[in-house]
Amino acid sequence: MFMNKNKLIKVVALGTAAVLLTFSGVLVSCLMNNKAKEEPVQNLAYTLSADKTYYIVSGIGESKDPTLVIPAEYKELPVKEVEERAFEDCDLLRSVKVGKNITKIGKEAFKDCDNLAKVSFEKRIENIDDYAFQATALTDVVIPSGVNNMGVGVFYECAGLKSIVVEEDNTTYKSIDGN
């Protein structure tokens, strides 16, 4: 059996269209996956301050990312604090980058985060409360120049901690031979 010329053209056109639609769907999917890898979404839990001028990070929320980035802003307001015990016992965490507006890490905020090996602070941090990083896997810590208050036992039970370096322009604390 032979198809007429018009019917053959329609079949070829429909087949070509199906291939193009499939290819464009795969391409869009790949592009979306690449964008998701570049910009991880971390749905942290936040609490608005009593005076409603800034946010406090109060927990991990729905995040499943082992690299935690605490942002400088949330809903167009600065994020200034990490609440007491906000991430306590969160074994998922491997590294934390503290945003530029954070001035305070609350008591026991990262206590017993067994796999937390790296933390980096921006210069605005002023307060690191009692036992904030107790029993973590931190090995090297740099204390920024703005820190003027560190509580008791901030790095208590951090068995792998090799050095604590305090930035030279810190007027409150000093680093002597990595201590």
Q: Letter for the amino acid at 79?
A: V
Report how far apart, in Å, the C-alpha atoms of 140 and of each of 31, 89, 118, 127, 149 are: 37, 20, 7, 19, 19
pLDDT of residue 39: 36
Q: pLDDT tens digit string along 121-175? A: 987 899 999 999 999 999 999 999 999 999 999 999 999 999 999 999 999 999 8
Q: How much is the pLDDT for 3?
A: 56
DSSP assignments along 55-81, one per residue:
EEEEE-TT---SEEEE-SEETTEEEEE
pLDDT for the residue 36: 37
- What is the mean predicted confidence (pLDDT) over 65-77? 94
3-state secondary structure of 165: strand
**pTM, 2 dp:** 0.75
Q: What is the pLDDT of residues 7-42, one digit of tens each?
A: 555 555 555 555 444 444 443 444 444 433 333 446
Distance, in Å, from the CA atom of 156 to the CA atom of 73, rounded to the nearest integer, reads: 30
Sign of CA dihedral 33, 35, 38, 39: negative
Biggest alpha carbon–alpha carbon distance for the chain: 93
For every residue of 72-136, DSSP letters joined together read SEETTEEEEEE-TTTTTT-TT--EEEE-TT--EE-TTTTTT-TT--EEE--TT--EE-TTTTTT-
Predicted confidence (pLDDT) at residue 43 exceeds the cutoff of 70? yes
Residue 159 DSSP one-character state: T
User: How much is the pLDDT for 158?
Assistant: 96
The average pLDDT across 53-81 equals: 92
Determine the pLDDT at residue 15: 56
Which range among 2-11, 20-29, 49-58 shows the weakest confidence by mean pLDDT? 20-29
Q: What is the mean pLDDT of residues 43-64?
A: 92
Q: What is the pLDDT of residue 5?
A: 58
